[in-house]
Amino acid sequence: MSIEKIDWNLLKSISETPGAPGFEKQVRELIIDELKSHVDEYYTDNMGNLITIKRSKKADAKKFMFAAHMDEIGFMVKHIDDNGYIRFQTLGGFDPKTLTSMRVLVHGKKDLLGVMGCKPIHSMTPAERQKVITNEEYFIDCGLSKEEISKHVKIGDSITRSQNLEMVGNLINGKSLDDRVCVYALVEVMKSLKAEDIDCDVYGVFTVQEEVGLRGAQVAGHGVSPDFGIALDVTVANDIPGLAPENYVTQMGKGVGIKHFDGGTICDRRMVELLEEVATQNDIPHQAEILPFGGTDTANIQRMPENGAIAGALSIPMRYLHQTVEMAEPGDVWGMVELCSKVVEKTSGLA
């Protein structure tokens, strides 16, 4: 699919807005501005999750919860040395080799542009050249003295990657597409739903702190206590040189992933089969996903008090996950929008 169905300006704003774990306020405010005239109700819980609600006209409607996380992998300032170099705490999982010379924004009283630095190869011993570099060996160089930096930055401020959203060939490329493509998809879903078409009250939940342990979804899941739930996240597309097809997990452009398993969840067979049925009936390209590691907000949606929730997950295949920039295919993104919009019309037979 070409990019035409995607609201590029909205996706670009969602991708480029900073929001490290615990610092999601700007993303949340952007989503509120976009959705406040399209939903029946919205509120923010004490954890910082944004809960938007589209109500069914059906009496005694059950609750269907979608969850997409607002946070992106990032960093926190933990030390500024006498020469103005910033040391940081990672917020979420980074592959250290991808950090070299990456531009970042340090979000203090004003944003400061910086560059990830480490010892150059010219200054390394032969032994140092052979070892794997660690996050602790990096520092951030803002090109300023400690005195100048300290006017704007303090310990505990957040840091995010500095990247623009671009099209690379036919593919979307930018920072924080994990999970901002799914945030975008959920915004489009909540806009599209009509009360007369849905069997359930639909809760579009934008969660916080997923990248540091699914924390927001635990609070939101207990607060909403849904009957049905689907987490919207990205997954690995290993369709690249050097990997065998059995290790692909998913492939770009083959459709939205319907999750069966990941490191935190075995998806409910009823939800898996419903998603497959609805996708097939509506000619929505889809593929099975079995992820042998990692996890998503599904785990905390599924494990509700008392009866739990009938839960599953949809995934957008992504290359270069948790690296400097990430890549997604527009058709896979739009397929998530279409499948989510259709599945809430069919939930009455689940339980």
Just list the catalytic residues: 210
Q: Are strands 228-236 and 63-69 parallel, antiparallel or unpaired?
A: parallel
Q: How far apart are CA 205 and CA 215, in angstroms?
A: 13
Task: Print burial letters for 159-175: b (CB count within 10 Å at least 16), e (below 16).
Answer: bbbbbebeeeeebbbbb
Where does residue 307 rank: exposed (0-12), middle (13-18), buried (19+ CB within 10 A)? exposed
Q: How many helices (H) and strands (E) does the chain have?
A: 9, 17
Where does residue 46 rank: exposed (0-12), middle (13-18), buried (19+ CB within 10 A)? exposed
Q: Is 320 helix (H, G, I), strand (E, B) or coil?
A: coil
Residue by residue, what is the 3-state secondary structure of 266-295?
A: ECCHHHHHHHHHHHHHCCCCEEEEECCCCC
Q: For residues 311 and 228, is the Cβ–Cβ distance under 8 A?
A: yes
Q: What is the crossing angle of helices 8-16 and 25-35, to 10°? A: 160
